[in-house]
Structure formats: structure tokens, C-alpha cells
Amino acid sequence: MKKIFLISALLLVFSAANCFAQSQDKEPSIEEIAEKHTKDLVRKLGLTEAQEFYVDSILTTNYVGVKDALTDLQKSGMQDPENYRYVNEQWQKKTMDALKKVLDEQQYIGYLRFIGKGKDYKKGKDGKWYLKSELKKQNKNPQ
């Protein structure tokens, strides 16, 4: 499951659709994919009902956006993978920016770790996320 979030939104949408299509005759909708990822985030991050609503809305909107943008690139005959990567990165940034407004700091760091972008953070003894450099300083200078 963690690998799905590590893959770019492009691969996420199309891979999930292909996997479902192979295991079932019907392809999951964007809404179903977003709902599944929202449920994963609720479980991993302990989201409130309000946060769950916003996260689901953000993921659904942005997954539709990235799919449309990638479909437009494909229809235009674009074959350079860099263009697809760029579009994907832009949508991933939009998703991260939107989620940052909805999640508290610890949840957001947990989200970054979950998608493989928070490698600079580590949990402290108190269970909270800290920059690894801060933890080293704390360990060298215990108070």
C-alpha cells in the first residue's frame, strides 16, 4: 500500500485502474481510488471526520485533474516522459499544498513520510515527528 503513494499520481491513477481492471471486469472510478486512499490516510494519520471530507475532496479533484492533464498530453501526441513527469509533479505539489492546509503539522509530516517525501523526519521518543538534524542536536545536548 505504501508503494502506491510513492508512485507518482500519474502512475497511481493508471496503475490502480489497470490492477483493478485485471482482477475485475470493471475499472474503478477516480472517486473509488480517492476514497480508498482517503481511508488509508484516515487509518494512518487519525483524521477527523471533517479532515476526511476535505482529504477525499482534494484527492478526488486532483486525481481527476491529473488524469485529464495526462489524457490531454496523450491526445496531443506528446511522447516525452519528462512532460508527463512534470505534469505529475505539478499535480502532486498541488495536492501536498492543499493537504497542508487541512492537516496539522504532525499529520502532514506523517503524510509526507507515507508518500516517501518525508525522509528528513524521524519520530522522537515522544512519538512526534522531528527533523533528523533536530533529533541529533537534542541527543547531543540533553536538557
- Band the pLDDT of 23: cuts 50, 70, 90: low
Residue 13 pLDDT: 54
Q: Name beta bridge partners: 79.
A: none
Residue 116 has pLDDT above 70, yes or no: yes
What separation, in Å, do the N-terminal and C-terminal C-alpha atoms of the chain show? Answer: 39
Domain ranges of the chain: 2-118
- Kind and range of the H or E element at 122? strand 121-123
Q: In residues, how long is the chain?
A: 143
Residue 34 has pLDDT above 70, yes or no: yes
77-92 pLDDT, tens digit per residue, is 988 889 999 999 999 9
Residue 139 pLDDT: 72
Amino acid 21 reads A
